[in-house]
Amino acid sequence: DNKLKSIAAQNYYVHFNENAYSAINNSLETNRYSKIFILVDEQTHEYCLPTFMSNIVGEYDFEIIEIESGEIYKNIETATQVWLALSELNADRKSLLINLGGGVVTDLGGFIASTYQRGIHFINVPTTLLSMVDASIGGKTGIDLGVIKNQIGVINTPEMVLIDTSFLQTLPREQMRSGLAEMLKHGLIQDEQYWKKMTHLNQLNEEILDELIYHSVIIKNKVVTQDPTEKNLRKTLNFGHTLGHAIESYFLQSDEKKMLLHGEAIAIGMILAAYLSSEVTGFPVEQRDEIKEVLHSFYDSVFFEPNDIEAIIALLKYDKKNTHGNINFVLLETIGNPIIDITVSNELIYSAFEYYNS
């Protein structure tokens, strides 16, 4: 049948659509939480909370905590506000935090739940495409430190992840595109067939999208369950993210440049990584050019001046894959076959930006 099934993750399940609400209703009934907190931002408060609440069957003691939306609020100040709110509202160790939102809410909320009174249960209910296929899965939680992405955080798994794809109906187009980047990445690092399917996608009808989301969760989950602490295989999920995160940080700190969404920055990072791959691993140039062409068809291009490139390279020193002062890249040997821990020279990185600009 066409129903999306539940997927077994590390020590929890990812439940889709109808399954999602029966799973949470069962869990709330059996766990008897002292209080249930729902973390939202302005948008998910308005667009997602009513649907979510209407699917909860029992009577429980709910408290809503709202944060401001946007990457710039994924920081220690917001975390402090939420810790204080939990404390003032008498959250105890038997309380539950439900993170209803995009990657900012699930990353921040997961971190808050993992640290509040040394850890309370949390459930992720992703409402953006990006958080459904990526951010809500795999147990990475955290916040940014200044512009440095995800510098502070812990790995800790949720009780469950609930994916209700109907939330995507109100998601702005550019946010859909942002999530698409991680799905394309999943194809590039694990599954050439899936990449092909994604690239031929000109119209996102609901049924196809649901299936693509399901497949993407399978890929992400397969990688993280095999290597939860990122010793090797999990690093491949950072394809496009070494330069992508630096680009994201660079645009985040700039006053005159328009901010890039995570996925937009990662799309650029993947073109750059495809170029580096072709120079270092013998990655076929036809595949390199195909990646560039496909990503350019989805995303606006940005022009990088030499001083932009210099500043971005300077930001690479904060990458979490760095070891002993080396900057480690994930590159491709072919589509579907990544290779990790490759260092490249700054000259080559400059050439990659020239390739991107051309």
Query: Where do contacts with ligand NAD occur on this chain (CB under 6 A)?
Result: 41, 43-44, 47-48, 69-71, 74, 101-105, 107, 127-128, 130-131, 134-135, 138, 140, 149-150, 167, 170-171, 175, 178, 262
C-beta of 46 vs 354, nearer to ligand NAD: 46
What is the C-alpha to C-alpha distance for residues 341 and 332, in angstroms, rounded to an integer?
11
Min separation Cβ 237 and ligand NAD, Å = 8
C-beta of 105 vs 184, nearer to ligand NAD: 105
Q: Give the closest residue to 92 by CA, choosing from 154, 37, 157, 174.
A: 37
Min separation Cβ 73 and ligand NAD, Å = 8
How many Cβ atoms from other residues are within 10 Å of residue 352's Cβ? Answer: 24
Min separation Cβ 241 and ligand NAD, Å = 9
What is the C-alpha to C-alpha distance for residues 73 and 69, in angstroms, rounded to an integer?
7
What is the C-alpha to C-alpha distance for residues 177 and 181, in angstroms, rounded to an integer?
7
C-beta of 191 vs 264, nearer to ligand NAD: 264
Min separation Cβ 346 and ligand NAD, Å = 25
Min separation Cβ 251 and ligand NAD, Å = 13
Name the token pair of 280: 């270092």
Cα-based angle 298, 303, 308 (whole degrees, multiple of 5): 125
C-beta of 127 vs 328, nearer to ligand NAD: 127
Beta strands in the chain (DSSP E): 7-8, 13-16, 36-41, 62-67, 96-101, 121-126, 140-145, 148-155, 160-163, 329-334, 337-342
C-beta of 217 vs 344, nearer to ligand NAD: 217
**Phi, psi for residue 233 in degrees, rounded to 5:** -50, -40
C-beta of 241 vs 288, nearer to ligand NAD: 241
Min separation Cβ 14 and ligand NAD, Å = 13
